[in-house]
Amino acid sequence: MRMRGRRLLPIAISLIVIIILCISYIASPLRSKSQRDEFLVQLPPNSMEDNDSDQTTHLEHLPEVGPGPLLNLSNFDYLLASNVCRRAERELLAILIVTSYAGHDAVRAAHRQAIAQSKLAEMGLQRVFLLAALPAREHFVTQAQLMDEQARFGDLLQGNFVEAYRNLSYKHVMGLRWAASECQHRTKFIIKMDDDIIYDIFHLRRYLETLELSQPALAPSSAFLAGYVLDARPPIRVQANKWYVSRQEYPHALYPAYLSGWLYITNVATAARLVAEAMRVPFFWIDDTWLTGIVRARLGIPLIRHNNWYSANAEFLDCCVRDLKLHSYECEYFAGPNGADAKLLVEFLHNVEKCYFDECIKRPPGKSLKQTCLATVKSPAPEHGVAHVQPLRLR
């Protein structure tokens, strides 16, 4: 009898929690019809990716993701370490981890100008930039300057491996591992992005807040990965291409589905699993393909598809800024490349915020971006190197 009682207690507690969550979900003023439709999260129909075993691991059962060697970098250490998560006064909604070439100090300045740390903090967010060691050929920025930048902002996380395309996977794992250990119990979500991406942080925040209510089991689960899904693509086998991959590096004809590293969303529990699994999988230098594709597939974590958030054309986001200023039209996209214009993020975020105070209007029929913004396609598609291989589909 005592055994039975002990088993029933957790079940009863779980039931009560579920009932409370359902009531608060139904009663929430956020749940207007349009928002439900807009933010409904759909798991991909491709059930091959779906694997529900072990998808509800709780934080207590996670593998250790502390300091120490990073993959096969046995003497890995931080040159600069941020403590933005430890400093946070209450649990964050999300930590933004932004891949940034160490020499891109002007790009980071644009990010801070677009949205300051204090404003992020008010929104329950924080941000760190992921850097590596300056390469010898870097003549404009010095480590002393980076130390100065860290003293002012405290938002740099710099590993001691050297900045290089082929070291991006180290940087990516470094960021996920740091977020999963430093921010464990301190943040709900992790947003990984590149520093040359425009992103609507107000949209992302609303999405995550809504997700917590609408998908109370998914949001904290150890199987949460959402972003721009690239379905089974072939590796680029053209040697002249920057993204050329040899058959030794990757022998298979197709990559598993993966998320574009432009911007994707995960959480602490999922990041910890990816990092732990990455140690058991042969290293592959294309970071998003490796971590959110090859490593993820081994864990059977499904991908949540938000491809309609993204524009591959920087021109569209440029036109969005123009139309936000002139007509207060809502932007159809929430993320995309900046087209090598770091200031575009400043303009975009400063102008899009009003839409979250109901001060914007939907684009009238006949005024879609496709019709009013004649984009000349020059930006790359999210998949590495695809622009060289096939024409970009205008969306």
* Shortest reach from residue 134's CB to ligand NAG, in Å: 11
- Name the pairing type of β-strands 125-133 and 156-162: parallel
**Residue 164 binding ligand NAG, by CB under 6 A:** yes
Binding mask 82-111 for ligand NAG (x = CB under 6 A): ------------------------------
**Residue 43 binding ligand NAG, by CB under 6 A:** no
* Shortest reach from residue 164's CB to ligand NAG, in Å: 3
Q: Which residues are CB-contacts of 145 (< 8 A; sequence separation ≥ 6)?
A: 105
CB under 6 A: which stretch of 149-157, 160-168, 312-320, 328-336 binds ligand NAG?
Answer: 160-168
How far is the CA of 110 from the CAs of 106, 113, 119, 191, 198, in angstroms?
6, 5, 15, 18, 11
**Residue 154 binding ligand NAG, by CB under 6 A:** no
Binding mask 294-313 for ligand NAG (x = CB under 6 A): ------x-------------
DSSP label at 40?
-
Nearer to ligand NAG, 25 or 285 (CB): 285
**Residue 41 binding ligand NAG, by CB under 6 A:** no
**Residue 385 binding ligand NAG, by CB under 6 A:** no
The C-alpha angle 209, 214, 220, rounded to 5 degrees, equals 70
The rounded distance, in Å, linking the Cα atoms of 182 and 184 is 6
Exactly one of 51, 117, 145, 215 binds ligand NAG (CB under 6 A); which one?
Answer: 51
Token couple for 3: 């055994």
CB under 6 A: which stretch of 3-11, 24-32, 164-172, 250-258 binds ligand NAG?
Answer: 164-172
Binding mask 258-287 for ligand NAG (x = CB under 6 A): -------------------------x----
* Shortest reach from residue 160's CB to ligand NAG, in Å: 7
Burial annotation 199-212 (CB, 10 A radius, 16+ → b, else e): bbbbbbbbbbbbbb
Q: Which of 221, 218, 228 is nearest to 194 (CA)?
A: 228
CA 4 to chain centre: 44
Residue nearest to ligand NAG (CB): 164
Total count of residues recorded for the chain: 395
How far is the CA of 143 from the CAs of 36, 148, 269, 374, in angstroms?
48, 9, 33, 42
* Shortest reach from residue 290's CB to ligand NAG, in Å: 11
Nearer to ligand NAG, 300 or 380 (CB): 300
**Residue 242 binding ligand NAG, by CB under 6 A:** no
**Residue 162 binding ligand NAG, by CB under 6 A:** yes
The rounded distance, in Å, linking the Cα atoms of 179 and 144 is 25
CB atoms within 10 A of CB 56: 13
Exactly one of 34, 53, 248, 390 binds ligand NAG (CB under 6 A); which one?
Answer: 53
Residues contributing to the site for ligand NAG (CB under 6 A): 51, 53, 72-73, 161-162, 164, 166-167, 283, 300
